[in-house]
Structure 1
């Protein structure tokens, strides 16, 4: 009985590593490392960072990292950013599903004079895959994460995946 348990644990670990390698591959393919990465482990417990969620609003409402502020990624506006972060020396962490959209926003922040901007490596998927908590629209801890789409959702392996608008889940 002991060996089936070890086999099951080994398969679980391999599945987790497979998800991680897919995130690594996607970031190498789509990002150019223009914004320095910060790991989930490095971010936990630090209160000095302002955390900006660069996903779509419906993704943010399903779940987000504690104290994150929704910014989105499509309509970057200098005035909106200045209202949210008037101090350009304030350390900022941007994130999205895995770190592709957030890199684009991080680049814009750097171009607008923000001095210390980091991209969360692997985004909210990696955050949740490592067992860190996420919160819903009423700030209650949840297991649900918007998986963006079925292709990208394959990289999320430690959450209940939500697709589409939260009222029309699959």
Structure 2
């Protein structure tokens, strides 16, 4: 009997750990409730969140990094963002950033940027944020995008056809 109870307790603890942390009650919400639920189910909430409206209205200095593939970044990115990458992540790109500065990370929806945020936290960065809904929500809010030459664009790399459903039709030209 004790073995059974112990195995049940261990199973519950394992499931709780595997599922990550629950979504914070005060987290930002996305305009599309289905997209909001999709993103909520993807994240572990291990990195503090910032909403796209909050980032758009920030008046203080912030370092914005794109954690997607370079070809995604070249199609479009948030103005002022620096390419940091995911598979090609290179910590040397952060060498001039003080560990107490505000750093905002984004990708397509927030999954890859959360993983890079976890790495930055382990490296000692103390003010790291994951952009909730990331570039897709930025485009859905019709905030500006620029291409690899810094020119305004409406194009957005949506990773693949399946993920493109989360960018509202008519708000961006989808590519994959």
Q: 1:103 aligns with which of 105, 114, 132?
A: 114
- Give, in whole Å, the separation in 1 of the partners of 2:74 and 2:31: 24
Structure that is richer in helix per residue: 1
Give yes or no for contact 2:43–2:111 (8 Å, CA) kept in 1. Answer: yes
- Give, in whole Å, the separation in 2 of the partners of 1:32 and 1:40: 19
TM-score (norm 1): 0.79
Cα 1:19–1:148 shift into 2, 3 Å: farther
What corresponds to 1:78 in structure 2? Answer: 91
Q: Give the CA deviation at 1:58.
A: 0.3
What corresponds to 1:62 in structure 2? Answer: 75
What corresponds to 1:151 in structure 2? Answer: 162
Question: How does 1:9-158 map onto structure 2 within 5 Å?
Answer: 20-46=32-58, 47-83=60-96, 85=97, 87-157=98-168, 158=171
- Give, in whole Å, the separation in 2 of the partners of 1:79 and 1:73: 14
- Give, in whole Å, the separation in 2 of the partners of 1:56 and 1:27: 19
Q: Give the CA deviation at 1:20.
A: 2.0
Q: Count matched residues.
A: 144
SS of match in other structure, 1:60 = helix
- Give, in whole Å, the separation in 1 of the partners of 2:149 and 2:158: 19
Give yes or no for contact 1:51–1:67 (8 Å, CA) kept in 2. Answer: yes
Q: Deviations over 1:102-161 (max 9, x none)?
A: 000011011110010011110100001011010011111100000111111100112100
TM-score (norm 2): 0.77
Question: Which has the higher Rg, Structure 1 or Structure 2?
Answer: 2
Q: Give the CA deviation at 1:19.
A: 7.5
